[in-house]
Structure 1
Amino acid sequence: MSEVRIRPRQVLVLIIVFLVILMMVHRNGKRTCQGPDYLQTMYAQADTLPTIYAVTPTYTRPAQKAELTRLSHLFMLLPHLHWIIVEDANATSPLVTGLLERAGLEKRSTQLNIKTPPEFKLQGKDPNWIKPRGVEQRNLALTWLRNNVDTDRHSIVFFMDDDNSYSTELFAEMSKIERGRVGVWPVGLVGGLMVERPYLSEDQKQVIGFNAAWRPERPFPIDMAAFAISMDLFIRNPQALFSYEVQRGYQESEILRHLTTREKLQPLANACRDVLVWHTRTEKTKLTAEEALLKQGKRSDGGMEV
């Protein structure tokens, strides 16, 4: 049997081909996706899409880690999101820090904190309305954005509560928001309805009304999850902030009145026919057995983070 000899030059060629293939696999692995078309498009265009800054106020409670974990999976899937988590606390917590680290989101997140002042009833307003959560936290996030975002690059701000349910497709729609505009879409399971939605003009390009059943007289009778805002509007309107001095349900109108009008809203989500976000709420955690343990000086989660 004759001996097969491999020349050094052939070895070199084989090594080069192997390295080229390895580089291609590595590069494609970073930018490809086997999901639906809209998600594949987002990965292919990740470097040119506007950054979406999702602002999430949060506070300590039994379901906090579970709800933030659910949201973190969205950020792991979507390449152009930056998560701003603002804790209602005097200091940032190891729980949130650890969650971001385990999800690999340290470089695509910002962890802030500010404590909500003691609750009070708004004088001259609805006497049964207690000071709403999230005002201090969202305003701190807006301050951070105004001081840190590159104003030369198009970006979008979305107020993303931690107990809602979001489709990844919503963020593909959000990426279509034009500079100087506010994008809007339907929200499911809110305001006593199966869906709250904008009504559009015949050409489907302009918002002409809303189907809200709860306080439809509001300037913008929509949920916080129903819109996202081009960042340049916040730069041009530094007075745009959330406020305690408004009635219940008017926080959305309070921020939007500084930035846009109904006529300038940009309809998205298949001309506001697709529901891509739901106003879900986690059932209050029942811990009666845990309370019985505590009376005995015991805990089921001793030494564990739940």
Structure 2
Amino acid sequence: MPPLPCTPDDGAELEEEGQETWAEGSLEPPEYSRGHEWREADACVLQQELVAGAKPGVHLAGLLTVPRTATPLRLWLSWTPQTCFRNGWVVSAGNEELWVQPALEMPKRRDILAIVLIVLPWTLLVTVWHQSTIAPLLATHKDDGSDPRRDAPPGTDPREYCMSDRDIVEVVRTEYVYTRPPPWSDTLPTIHVVTPTYSRPVQKAELTRMANTLLHVPNLHWLVVEDAPRRTPLTARLLRDTGLNYTHLHVETPRNYKLRGDARDPRIPRGTMQRNLALRWLRETFPRNSSQPGVVYFADDDNTYSLELFEEMRSTRRVSVWPVAFVGGLRYEAPRVNGAGKVVGWKTVFDPHRPFAIDMAGFAVNLRLILQRSQAYFKLRGVKGGYQESSLLRELVSLSDLEPKAANCTKILVWHTRTEKPVLVNEGKKGFTDPTVEI
């Protein structure tokens, strides 16, 4: 911008707010007073003097702001054809202060305020998010008065030691996430999962694996029934720690149904009395004409379940069915479904003429049907092996009533995996390891 034509002797005197004089023939002066912004002298030198004794001769250019104070100010403005400076100074005398800054380079105060109002909320939001997300992961347990900075043990790589700490923090976070079931919904039917169990070396491992699956299923009630004269501390503690909605029952299979020691009569399938106790509990808990939507599923603790299976069975109207893998000496057994989507038979080798040639993990029953057919139980005696499922289902539905799930029984969503019995020959008769340690 070229310098404005200026007359060195031209000037203006401001003694009080709103009073001004200007030399004839000079540029038309702007109106200004205390607190007014003056922007006309971009190419001139502004010389100013405060009545209180500020030293004259300070060269200023650009924006002139006269502060509002009680003490009268006198400003002498003179124009000179010199090159203007593009910096600002603060000139003070007593409690008076004059701030000048270039008008073309510095934004107005209202612009600065707008920027602050925009940036400040985002800064606060990012800070709160950072603290709520990162801080819990960095928290470590420490004794009172101890130094939170721990030194690596002698002979340990500090990098490996720090990595171990990060692993611990990650485990804590994962435990927090996976020990909370999904929120309960008032619209979804409740799935009542009936699981008979008994004491054995792998019992806790089986129940833990199953609990980790059920924790991801919304609106689930776990009915665990122990084959024992009383509820065992191991199972009670495990169920309590899962955070699931559960009911813990127990009933011991009578000794006259057993042969040698814990060996059971093969004519009495394991879990029969436990499943029947769960059915009785449901009928005693819910009235016969209950409008409570729900589904009953008999899920043994030695199976593996897809989460998709539980969503499939939730819409069961009467009895729904699907394939089960690794049963009957086959890769899988499945209902035979025709083109109309109706079950017409069974894909199985073992006694395919059974009324319902299906595994216990291959069907679910609507809760209302269980409540209305109070006579329907698993038969304890007089039933051949493999006919337990048929003894219950024939009291509830016919073959044509079955509802095929899992893409018309073409998808495998449950596996009868079974946990291998551990070989503990090195324990000896007296036991090598501490028997009080819970496994």
TM-score by length of 2: 0.56
| Identity across the alignment (%) | 46
Q: Which amino acid aligns with 1:188?
A: A
Q: Secondary structure at the match of 1:82?
A: strand
Q: Which amino acid aligns with 1:73?
A: N
Q: Secondary structure at the match of 2:276?
A: helix
Q: Identify the match of residue 433 of structure 2 among 297, 300, 303.
A: 300
Deviation at 1:121, TM superposition (A): 8.4
- CA 1:140/1:82 → structure 2, altered by over 3 Å: closer, same or farther? same
**Is 1:66–2:199 an aligned residue pair?**
no
**Is 1:192–2:329 an aligned residue pair?**
yes
Partner of 1:232: 368
Alpha carbons 1:119, 1:131 under 8 Å: kept = no
Rg larger in structure: 2
Q: Secondary structure at the match of 1:197?
A: strand
Q: Identify the match of residue 251 of structure 2 among 114, 125, 128.
A: 114
Q: Identify the match of residue 264 of structure 1 among 387, 401, 411.
A: 401
Choose 133-142 or 148-157, whichever is displaced more. 148-157
Gaps of 5+ in 2: 1-98, 100-108, 133-181, 260-264
Structure with greater helix share of residues = 1
Map residues 1-306 of structure 1 onto 2, 5 A cutoff: 46-105=185-244, 108-120=245-257, 129-149=266-286, 151-178=290-317, 181-204=318-341, 206-245=342-381, 246-290=383-427, 292=428, 294-295=429-430, 298-306=431-439
Q: Secondary structure at the match of 1:111?
A: strand
CA distance in structure 2 between the aligned counterparts of 1:130 and 1:120, rounded to whole angstroms: 9
Bigger relative contact order (CA 8 A; separation at least 6): 1
Q: Secondary structure at the match of 2:396?
A: coil
CA distance in structure 2 between the aligned counterparts of 1:225 and 1:301, rounded to whole angstroms: 36
Q: What does the per-residue CA deviation read over 1:73-124, in whole Å, with 9 as the maximum and x for residues that have no partner?
A: 112111211100000001001111111122112xx000000000125489xx
Alpha carbons 2:191, 2:219 under 8 Å: kept = yes
CA distance in structure 2 between the aligned counterparts of 1:193 and 1:63, rounded to whole angstroms: 25
Q: Secondary structure at the match of 2:361?
A: helix
CA distance in structure 2 between the aligned counterparts of 1:141 and 1:102, rounded to whole angstroms: 22
TM-score by length of 1: 0.79
Q: Secondary structure at the match of 2:215?
A: helix
Alpha carbons 1:54, 1:83 under 8 Å: kept = yes
Q: Secondary structure at the match of 1:77?
A: coil
- CA 1:266/1:88 → structure 2, altered by over 3 Å: closer, same or farther? same
Alpha carbons 2:426, 2:432 under 8 Å: kept = no
CA distance in structure 2 between the aligned counterparts of 1:149 and 1:285, rounded to whole angstroms: 41
Alpha carbons 1:121, 1:130 under 8 Å: kept = no
Deviation at 1:193, TM superposition (A): 1.0
Deviation at 1:203, TM superposition (A): 2.2
Choose 44-53 or 271-280, whichever is displaced more. 44-53
Alpha carbons 1:196, 1:211 under 8 Å: kept = yes
Deviation at 1:45, TM superposition (A): 9.0
Q: How many positions carry a matched residue from both structures? A: 260
Gaps of 5+ in 1: 26-42, 123-127
CA distance in structure 2 between the aligned counterparts of 1:109 and 1:63, rounded to whole angstroms: 21
Alpha carbons 1:218, 1:250 under 8 Å: kept = yes
Q: Secondary structure at the match of 2:300?
A: coil
CA distance in structure 2 between the aligned counterparts of 1:240 and 1:263, rounded to whole angstroms: 19
Q: Which amino acid aligns with 2:201?
A: P
Q: What does the per-residue CA deviation read over 1:125-174, in whole Å, with 9 as the maximum and x for residues that have no partner?
A: xxx83422111111110010111136212100000101011111110101
CA distance in structure 2 between the aligned counterparts of 1:221 and 1:98, rounded to whole angstroms: 37
CA distance in structure 1 between the aligned counterparts of 2:239 and 2:257, rounded to whole angstroms: 33
